[in-house]
Amino acid sequence: MEKVYLDNAATTQVRDNVITKMQEALSQMYGNPSSTHSFGRSAKTAIESARKTIAKYLNAHPSEIIFTSGGTEADNMILRCAVRDLGVKTIITTKIEHHAVLHTAEDLEKEAGIKLQFVRLDAEGNPDLNHLETLLEADESKKLVSLMHVNNEIGNILPIDEVCDLCHKHNAYFHSDTVQSIGHYPWDVKKTPVDFMTAAAHKFHGPKGIGFAFIKRNSGLKPMISGGSQERGFRAGTESFHNIVGLEEAFTSAYDLLEDEMAYVQDLKQYFIDRLKQEIPGVALNGLSGDMEKSTYTLANVRLPIDPQKALMLLFHLDIKGIACSKGSACQSGSEGVSHVLAEILKEEDLKKPSIRFSFSKFNTKEELDYTVQVLKSFVEN
């Protein structure tokens, strides 16, 4: 049986060099980074080296990089601390954000009494920036705007520089969940001056359980986790040293190889879309995922012309054929009903048709995509 992994937006295969680096860290550098002896100092030096490496690629200051367990923790930390420490009274977001942002904002509405407002979306899932400005102008309350750079289900790319400008014009903080774009697009936090952003290593061929928050210097945020002085006092707890080393290796590889790997994966996505349209009449792409300029090159959200009853068996059928993909975010794969993202942008009759997210990486091939298209075609026709 063919085995085809097309769920890279959920998580990615770890690079061999990353595994090697982590094994070396586990076997040779096992000291506690907070210990003052040579074993601890070696580990601490490697952590600070990783922080400097990441900061250099982002054009940030090393003190602005805080290691976390991943994107969800980083999103929670930033939103909660902004309300607690910065006097934020209003959070402005959209209804198609990752649940790490949506649920946290909803919790803060209940727990802290903040005002939660949603930017209107067009039919393809793009936020209405005129409406965003209206919300920013509405009152004098301290505001935090939280909009993801690349949507994890439909791939739409936010015009992030325009949002930065709007937020700064109206003296609002700007947080962007950049989990789907860090490691896939170049970044410069001086040219795109976000206040806060988040990343997860497992989205760019690194280990799970490690990521980071970018927190602009002198932001005023205080620690969410109390205890020791790790992460310059911002996040207590013994550092996950081997994961941090793995993150650094994956991050470095992602950006050193970015131009070639981006071109390769872009070609895969275009090839997949072209083959789908050739072989399956009536196929559609959700959001902007069919637009190679306005959506990420790493995924396509495909809507198939299938009867709703038959659609119930589609993911099972693909799995039986060895094809891994998803109907939306892996974080909500156990939940019932349609994707909250698609529910906001699709008409009711289109929601009844199956929508599948296929996401690509450097490890995929056109032969795998040919096989996937043939499996889909056979399912649709039989």
HEC string of 123-176 equals CCCCECHHHHHHHHHCCCCCEEEECCCECCCCCEECCHHHHHHHHHHCCCEEEE
Q: Which residue spans within the chain are E strands per DSSP?
A: 4-5, 65-68, 90-93, 115-118, 143-146, 173-177, 196-200, 211-215, 284-285, 299-303, 323-324, 355-359
* Neighbour-count burial of 162, counting CB atoms closer than 10 A to its CB (0-12 exposed, 13-18 middle, 19+ buried): exposed
Question: Looking at 81, 167, 325, 331, which residue is catalytic?
Answer: 331
- The β-bridge partners of 117 are 92
CB 176, CB 199: distance < 8 Å: no
Phi, psi of 78 (to 5 degrees): -65, -50
CB 117, CB 91: distance < 8 Å: yes
Question: What is the distance between the alpha carbons of residues 27 and 279, in angstroms, rounded to a whole number?
Answer: 51
In the sheet where 143-146 sits, what is the strand order?
65-68, 211-215, 196-200, 173-177, 143-146, 90-93, 115-118
Question: What is the distance between the alpha carbons of residues 54 and 255, in angstroms, rounded to a whole number?
Answer: 10
Question: What is the distance between the alpha carbons of residues 230 and 6, in angstroms, rounded to a whole number?
Answer: 37
Identify the CA nearest to 328 among candidates 177, 150, 153, 124.
153
Greatest extent of the chain over all pairs of C-alpha atoms, in Å: 68
C-alpha angle 238/239/241, rounded to 5°?
130
C-alpha angle 71/77/83, rounded to 5°?
135
Question: What is the distance between the alpha carbons of residues 94 and 116, in angstroms, rounded to a whole number?
Answer: 10
Question: What is the distance between the alpha carbons of residues 237 and 231, in angstroms, rounded to a whole number?
Answer: 9
167 is catalytic: no
Residues carrying an active site annotation: 331
